[in-house]
Structure 1
Amino acid sequence: MRPTPTLLALCLAATPLLASAADFDNWPTKVAFSDGTELAATANIAYDLNDFSGGSGIDDADAVRRKEFGATLKKKGVYDAMVYYDFQADTWLDVYVRLESKALFGRDIGKFRFGYMKTPVGLDAVTSSRAGSFMEFALPVQAIYEGRRTGVDWVLERPRYLLQAGAYGGKDLQGDNPGTTQAVRAVWTPVKADGDVLHLGLALSQENPRGYRDGRDVHRAASARLRARPEAGLTDLRLVDSGALAPADKIVRSGVEAVWIKGPFSLQGEALQATVSREGRPDFTGAGQYAMASWVLTGESRGYSGGAVANVKPAHDYGAVELVARYSRLDLDDADVLGGRQHDWSIGANWYLTSHFKFQANYVKADASRRGVRSQPEIFELRAQMHF
């Protein structure tokens, strides 16, 4: 593995912060006005190194993985709005306005959001990109998560449950993925307190993709595609790939999710499935699961709010240290499609220096088979991340 000046500089820059990490958390990133309105800047910058071995033939790489910048405007109990863009991927992230029903109707019947937002099937994906215990999504989440769409959703959260419903239409903000989607998610939290959580959830969506004419007036049929990187973000190689599934009439996605947090220990898992209905051809179903475990050596707990996990908040001047392990699998062989099968074992360590600086190391051992060809790459990954 070759060290890089940029990654080393980011790591070394953290060293002087150890003595005053507790004082370094209070960043002046927002301003409050007399009427209670608050304007804040937000960002997430991550620099990664990926080292591939095991005869993979994949080139090693180091690069900025995320360069996300945005702003939020909110008035507590009334509304909040966000504009967020990833300049590294040249992609819009969240762009929405969310209204509190109590301010509109005098009683709390949930929150209504309008704009460009995440669809709800895939717990790992609806978790903030800055808060992942692993550097990359598990295999089934990569393949089955729909992504962001333009539309409206409603969320009602109570101490013991969370309900969500959304309807989305048209193209996304990149001008891709024309069609409509309807989605629901239900979460039961019989235990929900700081450091003590039991989360059980179900999610379901139906997407009806639509064909379109491109800039050369060529008709493109509605299609779907399920694929995944080997849990490394700096390669475009997919060891398993369904290829284009066209013409696609309907995509039904479903997920079962669970989170258990007890002090410094945590378990999380999902089972995800997507069924693509194709005109004149048999339905195709891709499915996968993952399970992960976390142990925060320094005694803190993983955060949890709004039906999703959050970063560990350090309680010590030297930060917090977390050890993680994950197993994931994905099966894209079904009907007349030989997309392949893959399973990955991953271990990792996270150092939360402050609430704004996070360092991650992951080791991934992948095993994929597709059309009689087997690939077994091993990947070592490092990340330096700053966020606020």
Structure 2
Amino acid sequence: MRMTPTLLALSLAASPLLANAAGFDNWPTKVSFADGTELAATGNIAYDWNNFSGDIENADAVRRKEFGATLKKKGVYDAMVYYDFQSDTWLDVYLRLESKAFVGQDIGKFRFGYMKTPVGLDAVTSSRAGSFMEFAMPVQAFYAGRRTGVDWMLERPAYLLQAGLYGGKDLQGDNPGTMQAVRAVWTPVKAEANVLHLGLALSQENPRGWRDGRDVHHEATARFRARPEAGLTDLRLVDSGALVTADKVNRAGLEGIFIRGPFSVQAEALQATITREGKPDYTGNGQYVMGSWVLTGESRGYSSGSVSNVKPARDYGAVEVLARYSRLDLDDADVLGGREHNWTLGANWYLTSHFKFQANYIKADASRRGVHTKPEIFEVRAQMHF
């Protein structure tokens, strides 16, 4: 295996930061005004190298090139515009209002715009804060992505409640239809380096057909599939194919996080059922469980129902080792989408609060329509975020 010159150069360029890593965290990306309003630039750049066994082509490329801006006034509102120039995809575009500033009491936060839907704990975590380089297969397959609409969130020390209504197409012009979603999280323990999080999320999507530029009608469809937890390949070892005509898509997720000092465990079980016109219902399901140990003693961060990057406490950064098991079953009814289970070992080096290096080894095992494949993947990432 050979590390690409670009990735090697990024690694070498970051090494002088070790001499003064703590001071390097103070980046001038924000400006504050007299009334308390704050304007900030934000970004996330990740460069990946993937090495695959067998006939899958190796690859290296920019995985993420995200840039945007935030405007906020503490206790009143915050707004974000965020775009991934690598995939030409809109990310977050929203305005969020805090009720206490307008009605005199805290009845939650109301957000309007283009935002993440709540079924999928790993997916609602910021892309810059992923413990592994890619989502586990169940999250890839069943997460609905972002939608345009309105949502409400109420957070208290022992719980978090969220509900959203979404309609129309997304900002890429895809996924026409409506969706309703709810999420409830119980946090009987919520303190720094000491968290117990148990949650349930549900959504119902009502996809609709659409007409293209030639006035050809396309039936409403749904599709579940996943890459083998590597971002630089279009290969999907399991794939339900396009399922027509989709009347409803019901998603459900159970989620859990346990953090105790440098140790943490996170798990999800996800399921999605498609109600089809003239055909039996189709259900796919999957689960993952992961464990993390920060060797340098720091803890994974936690806020508002999701985790965040480890913040280094030492000049040489923080080091984390991880393991994950995931499985996905897309065989049901008349659909032979396949089954896959993966083991992943990972290591993260948080050089500063703005630089992170990741390495993952994935051993995949997939069967679909009588074909059994067992690729192995080694991947590394250099990431800068602010």
TM-score interval (norm. to shorter): over 0.9
Distance 2:215 2:63 in 1: 35
Distance 1:266 1:145 in 2: 23
In structure 2, the residue matched to 1:249 is 247
Distance 1:305 1:10 in 2: 30
Letter in 1 for 2:340: Q
| TM-score scaled by length of structure 2 | 1.00
Alignment of 1:301-340 (within 5 A): 301-340=299-338
In structure 2, the residue matched to 1:19 is 19
In structure 1, the residue matched to 2:141 is 143
1:2 offset after TM fit, Å?
2.2
Indicate whether 1:224 and 2:229 are aligned: no
- Equivalent residue of 1:13, what SS? helix
| TM-score scaled by length of structure 1 | 0.99
Distance 2:191 2:221 in 1: 43
Letter in 2 for 1:32: S
Distance 1:341 1:217 in 2: 37
In structure 1, the residue matched to 2:371 is 373
Indicate whether 1:174 and 2:172 are aligned: yes
Query: In structure 2, which of residues 260, 263, 276 is the aligned counterpart of residue 262 of structure 1?
Result: 260
Distance 2:361 2:183 in 1: 32
Distance 2:315 2:322 in 1: 22
Distance 1:39 1:79 in 2: 12
In structure 2, the residue matched to 1:202 is 200
RMSD of Structure 2 on Structure 1 (CA): 0.4
Distance 2:374 2:180 in 1: 38
How many residues in Structure 1 have an aligned counterpart in Structure 2?
386
CA deviations over 1:90-139 (Å, ceiling 9, x no partner): 00000000000001100000000000000000000000000011000001
Distance 1:328 1:5 in 2: 32
- Equivalent residue of 2:271, what SS? strand
CA deviations over 1:7-50 (Å, ceiling 9, x no partner): 01110011100010000000000000000000000000000000
In structure 1, the residue matched to 2:73 is 75
1:3 offset after TM fit, Å?
1.7
CA deviations over 1:235-270 (Å, ceiling 9, x no partner): 001000000011000000000000000000000000
Alignment of 1:1-388 (within 5 A): 1-53=1-53, 55=54, 57-388=55-386
Distance 1:384 1:120 in 2: 28
Distance 2:225 2:52 in 1: 20
Distance 2:3 2:191 in 1: 42
Letter in 1 for 2:90: W
- Equivalent residue of 1:282, what SS? coil
**Matched-pair identity in %:** 83
Distance 1:346 1:3 in 2: 20
Distance 1:344 1:353 in 2: 28
Structure 1 unaligned segments of length 5 or more: list them: none
